[in-house]
Amino acid sequence: MRAGYADHLAIGVDLGGSHARATLWELDPLGVVVEAEARLPADDDARSPERVIERVVTLIGELGAPAETPVGVGVAAMIGREGVVVNAPAFPGGWRGAPIGALFEAKLGRRPVIDNDVNAICWGEHSAGAGRGGKPA
């Protein structure tokens, strides 16, 4: 990587009920550098917040990004202000009340930005996609 390249990178994670996808983005110019994806197991024990986050952190590691690269996670769940799951119909029991922000921080060594996946999609479109330059509704 070129000098200063890490300053122009970000990692985005899409965490759905049946899959996880991590993407390393170059921010200037905007574009995908590399992606890693995994299906999540159907077994409830393997889909606990701790096990799923371990799998997502492994995917992030597969991207080969510098350790300080910022991370954003869009989750198919309602997320409270402190990164705590409020409601997660796409995930089995054990997710409601889970402190996923703290769990990610413990595994990554830094706190990612965590939000509902639809909010993350809307923000992405507003800031870098089809809605770029538009006024919020």
User: Rounded to two decimals, what is the model's pTM?
Assistant: 0.87
Average pLDDT estimate for 62-91: 93
Indicate the domain borders of the chain: 5-128
**Dihedral in degrees, nearest 10, Cα atoms 6, 11, 40, 16:** 180
Average pLDDT estimate for 103-117: 94
Q: Please name the residue ranges forming H helices in the chain.
A: 49-62, 100-108, 117-128
Asked if the model's pLDDT at residue 63 lies above 50, the reply is yes
The answer regarding whether domain 5-128 maps to CATH 3.40.50.300 reads no
